[in-house]
Structures are given as structure tokens and as C-alpha cells.
């Protein structure tokens, strides 16, 4: 039995299958996931688990080289933007419209649904490599 880190078998399986440059999304409770994209649904109830809880767990298990977020986060959720930038310092950031982010989500390898109920806590992460290049 795995005893540390992510214990959700579905989520850790998707993470383990990531290759360099693969993308995946972590989203809020209402973020639409395009048909055909596998969903790891972690929501228990409103606010549980939070975006930050899921992001912290995922980042402990995953090499990330870049991310894409919605421009709207600057105005509607600046506190979360600070958190994201601190957690992903040194990685490439791209900001696009929320509409474009939803369109981009059709290309992700999988999506993780959290219980987050705040505005624009949606991110597409690009896998890096776990060794120096």
C-alpha cells in the first residue's frame, strides 16, 4: 500500500503516465471538461478539496515546466494568482482568456476537478522532466 503523497489511484496513475510536454488541467467545481478528456473527479462538496490542496499534492509528485491560466484571474482572484506564481516560480507562464483556456483544455491528457468555489482557479500545467537538461 502506498503510504505517502497522492493516494488516489486514478490521479497518481495519470501523473505517472505523463511524458515531457504533456499537458493536464486542474480546475474548479464548475470548469467544463471537453468530451473525451478523462476526468479525475476529487470534489466531495463545495470547497473540498480546495484548489491549493490539490495543486500542492500534484506539484509534490510532478515536474512542471510551464502553465497557462486565464487573464481574468488578475482581476477576480489576485490572491490565488500570487499563490500560483509562488508555487511555480521559475516556470514559464502564459495568460490567455478564459474562453481560450476552455478551448485549450480539449487538448489536455486529463483534467482534475476540485471542490474550489472561487473565480478562475483553473490551470493547465505542462509536464517537465525530473532530471537536469
Q: Is residue 40, in this structure, part of any structural domain at all?
A: yes
CB count in 10 Å sphere of residue 119: 15
Q: What is the CATH number of the domain that holds 122?
A: 3.40.1650.10
Whole-number Å distance between alpha carbons of 48 and 53: 9
pTM confidence score: 0.96
CA 47, 6, 34, 125 dihedral sign is positive
Phi, psi angle pair for 30, to nearest 5°: -110, 0
133 residues of the chain, pLDDT tens digit each: 899 999 999 999 999 999 999 999 999 999 999 999 999 999 999 999 999 999 999 999 999 999 999 999 999 999 999 999 999 999 999 999 999 999 999 999 999 999 999 999 999 999 999 988 7
Q: Is residue 59, in this structure, part of any structural domain at all?
A: yes
- Name the burial class of residue 17, with classes exposed (0-12), middle (13-18) and buried (19+) by CB atoms within 10 angstroms of its CB: exposed
Q: Is residue 95, in this structure, part of any structural domain at all?
A: yes
Q: Is residue 4, in this structure, part of any structural domain at all?
A: no
Has 20 been annotated as catalytic?
A: yes
Q: Is residue 14, in this structure, part of any structural domain at all?
A: no
Catalytic residue among 20, 21, 74, 85: 20
Amino acid at each position: 500500500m502506498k503510504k505517502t503523497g497522492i493516494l488516489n489511484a486514478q490521479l497518481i496513475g495519470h501523473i505517472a503516465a505523463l511524458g515531457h510536454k504533456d499537458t493536464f488541467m486542474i480546475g474548479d467545481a464548475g470548469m467544463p471538461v471537453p468530451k473525451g478528456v478523462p476526468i479525475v473527479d476529487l470534489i466531495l462538496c463545495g470547497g473540498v478539496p480546495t484548489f491549493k490542496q490539490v495543486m500542492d499534492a500534484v506539484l509534490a509528485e510532478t515536474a512542471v515546466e510551464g502553465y497557462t491560466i486565464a487573464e481574468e484571474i488578475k482581476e477576480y482572484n489576485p490572491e490565488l494568482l500570487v499563490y500560483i506564481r509562488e508555487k511555480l516560480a521559475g516556470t514559464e507562464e502564459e495568460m490567455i482568456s478564459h474562453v481560450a483556456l476552455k478551448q485549450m483544455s480539449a487538448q489536455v491528457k486529463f483534467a482534475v476537478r476540485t471542490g474550489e468555489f472561487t473565480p478562475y482557479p483553473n490551470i493547465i500545467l505542462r509536464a517537465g522532466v525530473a532530471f537536469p537538461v
